[in-house]
């Protein structure tokens, strides 16, 4: 998985240093605003429980933000079908249709 | 951490929006949202309201200075965590997100004037009110039990002093003693919680008092992750744990606290330590404000978690009737996001996104042996329903490495939910 989104986080931190505000304020601006809260954008917020945010992913968890959308979608389909082994993610992926997973993958890739 | 001024926050938003290539649209004033309770439900709602729309004025009312989480309190009993490590401050909600924190006890809701009254007389007007008070213990649900009796026979179903008391009792009991754990009938806070607790007490006894036994006197005939727990107990703690189902005489009929004796369907049992988990209702404010049904829990619209009883009031977390979702921290966190999306969209005259809910409950059988249950849920005609053919429990057959990975993810989940609610 690419760590491209880290550049965004570093950017936010640099901003924070420059303007003297907390990086979270910048991160907050990446969150979907009411008019942008599509189904996929909202679904992605539920993933944050375990996967954290682009700048703060827990050390035990894979980074899902900012990777290639097609690759992310393929991974999710593989998890869903148990082609890719997982402890829990297959069970979670089976809660979504392929279209829903595609939309979430596209959304997460934008980070 | 820098303290925000209003100006600082808006300035930051404008700078970031421009630099991240988003249109920098001036925003209309957002409205006032008041939240009762700063647990997983209320804290997540506050944080996500600010995340979705920083212009909303968010006020969080909470009676306690710190949040001692029930999740991981069983690990304090097992001796693998201390209370400090599960005690959290709510300051980041103010410092990072601009949530107004009010320390106090919410007493009454004036639905027609749209105002929340606190015990000290202060009135907080709202456009939308989120009620997330967790549970109240129904001590009188077990004859002989009372709030006072909990000083001798802890429930430890609200973490903190009760957790410490139960831990001290386990440390003080003789090797060879009997520990009784008595879970209530459904519904109650954290369905797998009593059985994870039994596992953690077993972990402590096995390592420190190996002649001791645990007796589970259950009001129920089945329990959450039962097959996984029982297989785990058999392999990790052979002979240490006995579970007595309600139908086999396990249901507690009465407790004699002075003599540390429980009367159950099968007869009387004396114990060195008793952990009695009484039945529960929604937190008192929800009951007093008339938000609850005859069963003690608050009915809500599964699409938005809006109260069925009062306009512009939402009830989330343990206090709500959430259909197929269990009363868990993960569930409260997920419901809070749906409510935050619904309120921020509504206040901005936009359509809210379709609701989707998530729950995961990890439990440890030993520090290196984790199991889980997870689910994705959507609103249905009969309340929140689980998406068919998804979710479920960890596989019955799995090697030690798999169980160990889930134990690691248990830690990851905790770090994640603390950051997601309070970070
Ligand atoms: C032993 C145990 C283990 C658990 N383990 C897990 C786990 O591993 N995973 C999981 O997901 N869940 C777990 N849970 C369940 C979890 O703790 C609850 O489901 C969760 O805390 C519910 O969140 P809530 O916001 O509804 O209520 P709470 O967390 O109880 O928060 C309610 C808050 O409101 C405040 N409050 C109440 N009334 C008022 C008032 N009138 N005025 C001001 N403040 C008020 C309270 O002080 C409290 O801070 C466990 C529970 C127990 C008992």
Does the pLDDT at position A12 exceed 50?
Answer: no
Q: Out of 3.50.50.60, 3.90.1150.10, 3.90.120.10, 3.40.50.10860, which CATH number does the structure's domain B142-276 have?
A: 3.50.50.60
Element (H, E) at B8: helix B6-19
* A chain contacts of residue B48, beta-carbon cutoff 8 Å: 45
Percentage of the residues of chain B whose pLDDT score is greater than 90: 93
Task: Give yes or no for residue B132 CB within 6 A of ligand 1.
Answer: yes
pLDDT per residue over B231-287, tens digit each?
999 999 999 999 999 999 999 999 999 999 999 999 999 999 999 999 999 999 999
B317 neighbors B303 (Cβ within 8 angstroms): no
Which residue has better confidence, B241 or A5?
A: B241
**Closest CA–CA distance from residue B178 to any residue of chain A (Å):** 35
Angle at B191 between CA A81 and CA B289, to 5 degrees: 120
pLDDT digits 0-9 by tens, A42-60:
999 999 999 988 888 888 9
Domain boundaries, chain A: 6-109
User: Measured between beta carbons, which residues in chain B are less than 8 angstroms from residue A76?
Assistant: none
CA distance B108 to B293: 17
Computed over every residue of chain B, the mean pLDDT equals: 93
Tell me what the mean pLDDT of segment B279-307 comes to: 98
Side-by-side strand order, sheet with B100-103 = B100-103, B57-62, B32-36, B128-131, B313-315
| CA B143 to ligand 1 center in whole angstroms | 25
Cβ–ligand 1 distance for B375 under 6 Å, the answer: no
Flag if B419 and A52 touch (Cβ within 8 Å): yes
**Closest by alpha carbon to B326, among B405, B223, B214?**
B223
Query: Could A88 and B394 be called an inter-chain contact, meaning their C-beta atoms sit closer than 8 Å?
Result: yes
Q: How far is B372 from chain A (nearest CA, A)?
A: 8
pLDDT classification of B27: cutoffs 50, 70, 90: very low
Residues 6+ apart with CB under 8 A from B51: A28, A31, B97, B340
pLDDT digit string (tens) for B73-131? 999 999 999 999 999 999 999 999 999 999 999 999 999 999 999 999 999 999 999 99
Size of interface A-B (CB pairs under 8 A): 158
**At A30, is the pLDDT very low, low, confident or very high (cuts 50, 70, 90)?**
low
Q: What residues of chain A lie within 8 A of the CB of B358, using their CB?
A: 46, 49, 92, 95
Residue of B48, B49, B65, B54 lying closest to B102 (CA atoms): B65
Nearest CA in chain B to A14: B16
Say yes or no: domain A6-109 is CATH 1.10.760.10.
Answer: yes
ipTM (interface predicted TM): 0.91
Give pLDDT tens digits for B59-71: 999 999 999 999 9
Q: Using the 8-state DSSP alphabet, how is residue A19 labeled?
A: H
Q: What is the mean pLDDT of chain A?
A: 78
How many Å apart are CA B311 and CA B37, to the nearest integer? 19
pLDDT at residue A61 tops 70 = yes
pLDDT at A24 over 70: no
Residue A22 and residue B1: Cβ atoms within 8 Å? yes
Ligand 1 atom closest to B360 (CA) = 11
pLDDT, tens only, B353-395:
999 999 999 999 999 999 999 999 999 999 999 999 999 999 9
Angle of helix B400-422 relative to helix B329-347, nearest 10 degrees?
40
> What residues in B contact A46, CB-CB < 8 Å?
334, 337, 356-358
Q: Which residues from chain A sit within 8 angstroms of residue B345, using beta carbons?
A: 34, 37
Spell out which residues of chain A touch residue B22, defining contact as CB-CB under 8 Å.
29
The protein residue whose alpha carbon is closest to atom 21 in ligand 1 is B329
pLDDT in tens, A71-110: 999 999 999 999 999 999 999 999 999 999 999 999 999 8
Ligand 1 pocket, mutate which of B45, B229, B329 (most atoms under 8 A from CB): B329
* Summary count for chain A: helices (H), strands (E): 6, 0
For testing contact with chain B, the best of A16, A49, A57 (most B CBs within 10 A)? A49
Weakest mean pLDDT among A4-8, B286-290, B305-309, B316-320:
A4-8
Q: Assign A18 a pLDDT band (cuts: 50, 70, 90).
A: very low
How confident is the model over B180-226, as pLDDT tens digits? 999 999 999 999 999 999 999 999 999 999 999 999 999 999 999 99
Give the model's pLDDT for residue A34.
Answer: 79
Distance CA A70, CA A56 (A): 23
Burial class (CB in 10 A: 0-12, 13-18, 19+), B199: buried
Query: What separation in Å is there between the alpha carbon of B304 and the centre of ligand 1?
Result: 20
Query: Is the CB of A21 less than 8 angstroms away from the CB of B408?
Result: no
Nearest to A39 among B20, B95, B354 (CB): B354
Out of 3.30.1490.100, 2.20.25.160, 3.50.50.60, 1.10.10.10, which CATH number does the structure's domain B6-63+104-136+280-422 have? 3.50.50.60
Nearest to residue B63, comparing CAs of B39, B85, B98, B45? B39
Residue among B13, B394, B419 minimizing CB distance to A29: B13
Chain A residues contacting B via beta carbons under 8 Å: 8, 11-12, 15, 19-22, 24-26, 28-35, 37-39, 41-43, 45-46, 48-53, 56, 58-61, 87-88, 91-92, 94-96
Does residue B331 register a pLDDT over 60?
yes
CA of B273 to the centre of ligand 1 (A): 25
Looking at the predicted structure, is the pLDDT value of residue B132 above 60? yes
Q: Where does the pLDDT of residue B29 fall: very low under 50, low under 70, confident under 90, or very high at 90 and above? A: low
The residue whose CA has the least distance to atom 11 of ligand 1 is B329
pLDDT band for position B149 (cuts 50, 70, 90): very high
CA of B373 to the centre of ligand 1 (A): 19
**Chain B residues with beta carbon closer than 8 angstroms to that of A110:** none
């Amino acid at each position: 998985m690419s760590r491209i989104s880290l550049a965004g986080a570093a950017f936010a931190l640099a901003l924070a240093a420059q303007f003297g505000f907390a990086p979270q304020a910048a991160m907050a601006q990446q969150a979907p605003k009411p008019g942008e809260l599509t189904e996929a954008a909202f679904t992605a917020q539920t993933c944050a429980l375990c996967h954290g945010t682009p700048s703060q992913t827990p050390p035990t968890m894979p980074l899902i933000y900012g990777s290639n959308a097609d690759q992310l979608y393929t991974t999710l389909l593989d998890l869903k079908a148990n082609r890719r082994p997982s402890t829990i993610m297959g069970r979670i992926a089976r809660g979504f249709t392929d279209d829903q997973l595609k939309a979430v993958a596209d959304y997460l890739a934008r980070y | 951490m820098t303290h925000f001024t209003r100006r600082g926050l808006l300035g930051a938003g404008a700078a970031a929006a421009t630099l991240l290539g988003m249109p920098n649209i001036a925003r209309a004033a957002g409205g006032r949202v008041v939240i009762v309770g700063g647990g997983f439900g209320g804290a997540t709602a506050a944080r996500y309201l600010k995340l979705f729309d920083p212009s909303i004025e968010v006020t969080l009312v909470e009676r306690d200075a710190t949040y001692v989480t029930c999740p991981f309190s069983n690990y304090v009993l097992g001796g693998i965590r201390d209370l400090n490590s599960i005690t959290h401050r709510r300051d980041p909600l103010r410092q990072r997100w601009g949530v107004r924190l009010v320390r106090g006890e919410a007493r009454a809701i004036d639905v027609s004037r749209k105002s929340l009254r606190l015990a000290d007389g202060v009135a907080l007007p709202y456009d939308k009110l989120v009620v997330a008070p967790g549970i109240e213990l129904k001590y009188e649900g077990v004859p002989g039990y009372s709030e006072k009796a909990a000083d001798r026979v802890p429930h430890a179903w609200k973490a903190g002093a009760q957790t410490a008391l139960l831990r001290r009792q386990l440390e003080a009991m003789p090797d060879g003693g009997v520990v009784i754990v008595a879970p209530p009938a459904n519904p109650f806070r954290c369905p797998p919680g009593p059985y994870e607790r039994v596992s953690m007490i077993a972990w402590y006894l096995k390592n420190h008092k190996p002649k001791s036994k645990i007796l589970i006197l259950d009001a129920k005939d089945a329990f959450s992750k039962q097959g996984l727990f029982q297989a785990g107990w058999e392999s990790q703690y052979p002979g240490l744990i006995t579970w007595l189902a309600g139908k086999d005489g396990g249901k507690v009929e009465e407790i004699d606290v002075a003599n540390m004796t429980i009367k159950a369907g099968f007869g009387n049992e004396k114990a060195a330590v008793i952990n009695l988990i009484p039945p529960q209702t929604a937190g008192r404010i929800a009951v007093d404000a008339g938000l609850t049904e005859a069963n003690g829990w608050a009915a809500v619209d599964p699409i938005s978690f809006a109260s069925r009883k009062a306009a512009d009031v939402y009830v989330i977390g343990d206090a709500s009737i959430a259909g197929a979702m269990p009363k868990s921290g993960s569930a409260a966190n997920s419901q809070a996001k749906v409510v935050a999306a619904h309120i921020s969209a509504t206040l901005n005259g936009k359509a809210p996104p379709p609701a989707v809910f998530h729950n995961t409950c990890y439990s440890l059988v030993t520090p290196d042996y984790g199991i889980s249950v997870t689910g994705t849920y959507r609103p249905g005609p009969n309340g929140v329903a689980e998406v068919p053919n998804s979710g479920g429990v960890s596989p019955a057959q799995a090697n030690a490495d798999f169980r160990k990975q889930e134990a690691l993810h248990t830690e990851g989940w905790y770090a994640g939910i603390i950051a997601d609610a309070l970070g």
